[in-house]
Each structure stands twice: as structure tokens, then as C-alpha cells.
Structure 1
Amino acid sequence: MIRFPRAAKLALPLALAALAAPSLSQLPSTPPGALDKSRVTAGNYTVDATHSMIAWRVNHLGFNDYFGLFGQLGGAMAFDPANPAATKLTATIPVSKVVTVDAALTAHLTKPGADGAKPDFFGPAMPDAVFVSTKVTPGADGTNATVEGNLTLNGVTKPATFSAQFTGAGTNFFNKAATIGFHGQSTIKRSDFGLGFFAPLVADEVKLDITIAFEKK
């Protein structure tokens, strides 16, 4: 049996990856996505988990807001640009994987409750939050919409609404997938979902800033 040196074993996957990726000379001179509705095609899309996330902000003790991030989103969208009101959307948010810029704050958000009590916030094993749309109302210019639906978080389901803005469409040159991007905003109350610990000292209202991309199957 032929044995390769360890360095060669490590180099081989990198070389294969380099062959698969486009070289600098092959990259387009302009971004593949653009704010152009004519580039949007009808079909079934899934979330690009690597480039989709939700930032949240909440006021702390009346002094200032602090921020956190949910990544690794999942979900799907059925979309037809000829009938955007018929859009169907689902999204999953792994809240137990929340991150912040401070290790102690992240640990507090995800630590289990003491002596079997419920956690102060998300805890280490909270199920993913799930949003399912029930109504999409397109704006007059066709680049924004109001999305209504049901958000299930911490075992509680409540109506939720967010505004969505179309931000770009085109074909991703890396994976050749037709892609649509959106930004969104919403505000929810922690207490609606049984997560109102320390409110109102830590504000009950949480502002959400969503950036999400969908890739056509």
C-alpha cells in the first residue's frame, strides 16, 4: 500500500478545492446579484444558512442597547414574482446557539436553570424557533412587503409580523443557484413567549434585524 506523507494528505483536499473554485481571473467584475425584479424566477427556494442571520437588540437597565445574533437559519420559500401575495415562507431559528461578543453574556443566555428550575433565558437545549407565514401583502413598488404569520418560541405560538425589503437577485457564480435576498425588521415581546426574565429592567421589547438569502432548488 502506498503511504503518502502527512503534508501531502493535507495538501490534497486544498488542491481539489482550489481546482473547484474559480480563479481571480474567472471572477465577474460586478456582483451577480442586483436590485432588479426581472431577475427573480418562480420556484421553490431554501435558505442559504451560511449567509442568513437575525440580529437582535434589547435595552439594558435603561442605559443602552446590547446586541446578539442568531445564525444557521433554515427554511424554505415558494415564490412567484407574478403573484407575490401567494408566497409561502417558513423559517427556523436555532435560538440555543445564540452568540454575543461577550462570553459571559452568551453563557448566561444559554445556561440551564439552577436546581432544575427553568433557565433565565434560552438555556442550552431550547428547540428551534419556527416562523410560518400566513399572509403576504406586497407593497406598491413591488420591492417590499408585510409578512404576517405565527412564531413558535419556547413552546408558545403567537402572531408575528415583519416588514421585508427585496435586496437583490441573480445567479450565484459559485454554486450556479438562482438566489434572492431580503432584509427584514420586526419587534417582539419576550414576555409573550415566557422569556420575560428581568423585564422591564432588561427591556421586554426585542428589535429584530433580519438578513436572509434563498437559493432555488
Structure 2
Amino acid sequence: MTTRDDFSNSLTVTPLPLSPGDWELDPLHSAVNFTIRHLGIAKVRGRFTEVKAALSVGETADDVRVTAEIALASIDTGIAERDAHVRASDLLDVEKRPTMTFRSTRVSGEGEDWTMEGELTIGDVTRPVTLAVEFGGLVDVPVDGSRHAGFEATGEIRRSDFGLDFAPGLLGDVVKIQLDMQFVEPRAA
């Protein structure tokens, strides 16, 4: 049985350096990148070019929510023929799995180093994911007076956990993820 003291001790009361509100993604200065092994001897790097994300900030880390949606058809490994093959029904099958979504469930940390736990969904499979997050800081943009916050998040997933176990031996099971994200502070009303 969970007591009130147990619940109180699990809360994160770290104050945040971000103002409360709904921060918008700056898509021109954000990227979703990945790395996967090919034949176990080399790395293939790529990115997804169509990303929607939202950052909702409250008073403490327990009040932070992050959501993201990535169009799987926007994969870009720098080789169009390979990208077309990865989109096909025998691999990612973007007709059946058009998006990958993320929803945070917990954020903790302080200073520059944070951890974000969440749920990643690809197709009809949802699995827990933990990302190490580095807070890059805040800056006021002189051109328009907006304030931007920068973050880098890293982690890894296993393709097989999401039923994407095609081409074993050719492609590694572990996919390393690197997110570079900028969000714009909400304007005062």
C-alpha cells in the first residue's frame, strides 16, 4: 500500500530555469538523428526530417510534459535508394506505421543533467524509453526578442522490441538516438 509519505518522497521539487507554459518547437534548429550498425562493422547515420514536438513546463520537473510525433516516411540517410527500401513493407512499412510517437512520463535531474522517462510508440507497439538529457541553456534572440531553450537528449532502443526485427545480421538491433532540440518560450499575454 502506498502511503502519502511515499508519494511525497517520490515528487521532484527541483525548481526549473524555464518559465511555465507551453513552449513551441523551433523546427529550423532541431534535429532527430539516429545511428545503426550495418553488418556489425560500420555505422549508418540518418535523421527524420518531419518532427512535431511540444514542451509543457510547470513549476517543477514533475510538472513537465514532452510529446513528439515523427513521420517515419521522412527518414533521410543521405541515399534515396536506401531510404525508399527502408520505407517499404518489408522494413519500416510506413503505410502501416506512419508515425513514431513519444510521451514523457517523468523528468528528473538538475543543472545541466536530466533524465526523461517516457513511452515510445511505433505502429501498435509501445515500450518504455529513458533518455539522458543535457540542458544547453537559455538565450534571448536579438532579432525578435524571443527566448530559446536548448536540449540534447540521447538514448537507445532495440528494433526487436517494436517488432522491427527484419534483416537480423545485416542491421544491428540497437538504434542509438540523438535529439538536438530548441524550444521557444511562450510570449507573455
TM-score, structure 2 length as denominator?
A: 0.82
Which residue among 121, 138, 157 is the counterpart of 2:92? 121
Alignment of 1:75-86 (within 5 A): 75-80=53-58, 83-86=60-63
Q: 1:75: how far off?
A: 1.7
Residue 97 of structure 1 pairs with residue 66 of structure 2: no
Q: How does 1:17-96 map to 2 (within 5 A)?
A: 40-80=18-58, 83-96=60-73
Question: 1:216 Cα deviation (Å)?
Answer: 2.2
Secondary structure (helix, strand or coil) at the match of 2:19 reads coil
Whether the 8 Å CA contact 2:30–2:180 is kept in 1: the answer is yes
Q: Which amino acid aligns with 2:71?
A: P
Unaligned runs of 5+ in 1: 1-36, 114-118
1:174/1:153 Cα in 2 relative to 1: closer, same or farther (>3 Å)? farther
Counterpart check, 1:216 vs 2:185: yes
Contact conserved, 1:39 with 1:170, CA < 8 A, in 2? no
Which stretch shifts more, 179-188 or 169-178? Answer: 169-178
For residue 212 of structure 1, what is the amino acid of its counterpart? M
Segment drifting more, 54-63 vs 83-92: 83-92
Richer in helix (by share): 1
Map of 2:86 onto structure 1:
109
Query: Aligned partner of 1:191: which letter?
Result: S
**1:159 is the counterpart of 2:128:** yes
Q: How far, CA to CA, are the matches of 2:123 and 2:73 in structure 1? A: 10
Secondary structure, in 3 states, of the residue corresponding to 1:108? Answer: helix
Structure-1 separation of matches of 2:56 and 2:84: 37
Q: 1:144-155 alignment to 2 at 5 Å?
A: 144-155=113-124
Q: 1:39 to 1:172 in 2, by over 3 A?
A: farther
Conservation of the 8 A alpha-carbon contact between 2:155 and 2:177: yes
User: Retained in 2: the 8 A contact 1:144–1:164?
Assistant: yes
In 2, the alpha carbon distance for the partners of 1:135 and 1:214 equals 19
Question: SS of the counterpart of 1:204?
Answer: strand
Number of corresponding residues: 172
Q: Which structure 2 segments of 5+ residues have no match?
A: 1-14
- Pairs within 5 Å for 1:185-196: 185-196=154-165
Pick the structure with greater CA Rg.
1
Q: Deviations over 1:127-163 (max 9, x none)?
A: 2211111111114xx2121100111112211111101
Question: Could you tell me which residue of structure 2 aligns to residue 32 of structure 1?
Answer: none
TM-score, length-scaled by structure 1: 0.72
What percentage of aligned pairs have identical amino acids?
28
Question: 1:9 — aligned with what?
Answer: none
